[in-house]
Structure 1
């Protein structure tokens, strides 16, 4: 039996290890992809920490990927060995009403590499329903840039273009300037938005400014549970209101905590739109959200769960034109061994961009 190197987690919160595992085989309707690049994302940390009930250990993480088709399963019509491809992190079944209407990101029978089955922190990964989920990667788009699209970049694009329907000239507050937050900054600027970026990391804020954020606000963890004041005394919602003349039209929580969600919602003007992108792990029950403000100001609170392959062409066209440059978001590239070391502490990482993994290293 052939084997490949992979990052393996034997149990929730165990130290990941690199070892040889069996090479995957293509499922019916699916493919095996040789992984050329894969992203290390906060969602991978949530899976490692045991926050995702779909994960069965031992497990191989990894859900953002790009590579080359290496094996084609029975019934696949549109893909051949050697094709350059990427895939959304949510893979629809291709049969249900949601997939047939182009909304595979909410497919009730979805598969997610790195969550529902072994993922892309390996030399090869199996993917399901290839004709529904695979996306061709143009030659001029690097594998690393394409890998970053699958979760953070595509999620940010759909959050702003599809869910919030950001209009030119509107203010956007992006809380969290990691991979998804910096993606949101870049995309909001490309769509004509005016951006305020909020983060605790000065380097991340500098990166946001370089990508077009008009203002950056340095936040600290809250001392009190009033969801407004950071430890340095900065009232984030009040600061945003002052900069925008009453609050942003759109807010994005790209972190996923009770504090950041509340700050984002309270940063909105009346009848504003909030998009929740960061996952909110339960701590002492479900996180508290300032619903009195949501009701009183008629705010829209929207979820964004990736983006279906059917919606990729518009985003890919902007990348090919150079209006969007996801490669600028890549801060570093590491090998599998370093990725295994980084994963357990990734929730506390102070990266100012995306971390990419080259499985050949």
Structure 2
């Protein structure tokens, strides 16, 4: 099968013919119809995250936002069948540890990150293997497109879990989103659907315009604001209850925290780059004085995808609205390179393998 293989960090991926995967006893093989290209793939391509144990080895197939059809089923799999239309979360749980048993499979004690580890080759390929399929495979509703659902593997579901499960958003609450890449735009759309009044922050007017289309009540171009926190607080009359850092650099993290009103919640979705090495200095005294909460949020348990699907069915959510580009497998390196200077908008998706 054809696959995009990491040969050197920061260099174009190699399009190669590699052996197709076989289904392990507890696993399935999915033939890809679509796979999102995520900023996390950019981090992997750069060789980031060794401080998290997530630096992929050379020879790795990247890609972790897949959707497609099951073409091979292991002998022990009970709930997945050939031909099923499915999405796959990037944080693969074993389905048996205490975290999985208690509904928190996104923090599985034996989690395997799809596309980041040799034992979990990714989905920039014609086929991908999924272990513990009865737990990890998410069946898609009838009539939806794999392309429209590709973001469910990471960005869309990550934002949903952060805002629907980790933060406390009530109708009319002011919600700030710092960084309007794919995960940030997903957060804008989801916060609006949950009843929040959203302030979107970015440096790019095109991304801010899309944020407005996805439900932002107001936008702030950080290039034009003398103080981003001041601009956000002025819009919300100092009543921002939830603020999201969807990028993971010091400026957006601190701006998010400083945008909050008293007893607000900062939600950290974005992970850092090599420049930060996993550590950002925070205004801790101000956080103490205003009783600010710092909340980390990772992925989403596969057992909760039905919440997204119910909101899609009712018309409140539309993951396809964040999908902006369709590319071929051969174009992945060009798309990753464009992410270096934040030149992509929304979620680019591979639909030709």
**C-alpha distance after superposition, 1:125-161 (max 9, x if no partner):** 0111111111111122110122111111001111111
Check conservation: 1:156, 1:187, Cα contact below 8 A.
Answer: yes
Matches for 1:41-190 after TM superposition, within 5 Å: 41-52=38-49, 53-54=53-54, 55-116=56-117, 117-190=120-193
**Of the candidates 339, 343, 346, which is equivalent to residue 350 of structure 1?**
343
Distance (whole Å) between structure 2 residues aligned to residue 169 and residue 58 of structure 1: 48
TM-score of the pair, normalised by structure 2? 0.95
Distance (whole Å) between structure 1 residues aligned to residue 84 and residue 286 of structure 2: 49
Distance (whole Å) between structure 2 residues aligned to residue 255 and residue 283 of structure 1: 13
Structure 1's consecutive aligned runs of 4 or more residues displaced over 4 angstroms after TM superposition are: none
Check conservation: 1:148, 1:326, Cα contact below 8 A.
Answer: yes
Distance (whole Å) between structure 2 residues aligned to residue 257 and residue 243 of structure 1: 23
Per-residue deviation, 1:212: 1.4
Q: Over aligned residues, Cα RMSD in angstroms?
A: 1.3
**Of the candidates 13, 25, 29, which is equivalent to residue 28 of structure 1?**
25
| Aligned counterpart, 1:210 | 213
| Aligned counterpart, 1:240 | 232
1:301 aligned onto 2:304? no
Distance (whole Å) between structure 2 residues aligned to residue 146 and residue 124 of structure 1: 17
**Counterpart secondary structure, 2:326:** strand
Distance (whole Å) between structure 2 residues aligned to residue 357 and residue 233 of structure 1: 36
Distance (whole Å) between structure 2 residues aligned to residue 24 and residue 289 of structure 1: 45
Distance (whole Å) between structure 2 residues aligned to residue 295 and residue 112 of structure 1: 34
| Aligned counterpart, 2:322 | 329
Distance (whole Å) between structure 2 residues aligned to residue 219 and residue 233 of structure 1: 5
Check conservation: 1:201, 1:350, Cα contact below 8 A.
Answer: no
Matches for 1:264-343 after TM superposition, within 5 Å: 264-283=256-275, 286-343=279-336
Distance (whole Å) between structure 1 residues aligned to residue 262 and residue 208 of structure 2: 27
Distance (whole Å) between structure 2 residues aligned to residue 255 and residue 248 of structure 1: 19
Distance (whole Å) between structure 1 residues aligned to residue 291 and residue 266 of structure 2: 11
**Counterpart secondary structure, 2:90:** coil
Distance (whole Å) between structure 1 residues aligned to residue 186 and residue 197 of structure 2: 14
Check conservation: 2:198, 2:217, Cα contact below 8 A.
Answer: yes
**Of the candidates 252, 261, 268, which is equivalent to residue 253 of structure 2?**
261
Higher deviation after alignment, 232-241 or 343-352: 343-352
**Counterpart secondary structure, 2:263:** strand
Aligned length: 346
Per-residue deviation, 1:181: 0.9
TM-score of the pair, normalised by structure 1? 0.93
Distance (whole Å) between structure 2 residues aligned to residue 356 and residue 233 of structure 1: 32
Structure 1 unmatched runs, 5+:
221-231
Matches for 1:12-23 after TM superposition, within 5 Å: 12-23=9-20
Task: Give the direction of change, closer, same or farther, for the CA distance of 1:330–1:103 in structure 2 (3 Å limit).
Answer: same
Check conservation: 1:35, 1:359, Cα contact below 8 A.
Answer: no
Check conservation: 1:237, 1:247, Cα contact below 8 A.
Answer: no
Distance (whole Å) between structure 2 residues aligned to residue 11 and residue 28 of structure 1: 33
**C-alpha distance after superposition, 1:180-228 (max 9, x if no partner):** 11111111111110000000111000001111111110013xxxxxxxx
1:6 aligned onto 2:3? yes
**Of the candidates 183, 191, 194, which is equivalent to residue 191 of structure 1?**
194
| Aligned counterpart, 1:223 | none
**Counterpart secondary structure, 1:148:** helix
Check conservation: 2:33, 2:69, Cα contact below 8 A.
Answer: yes
Per-residue deviation, 1:282: 4.5
Per-residue deviation, 1:256: 1.1
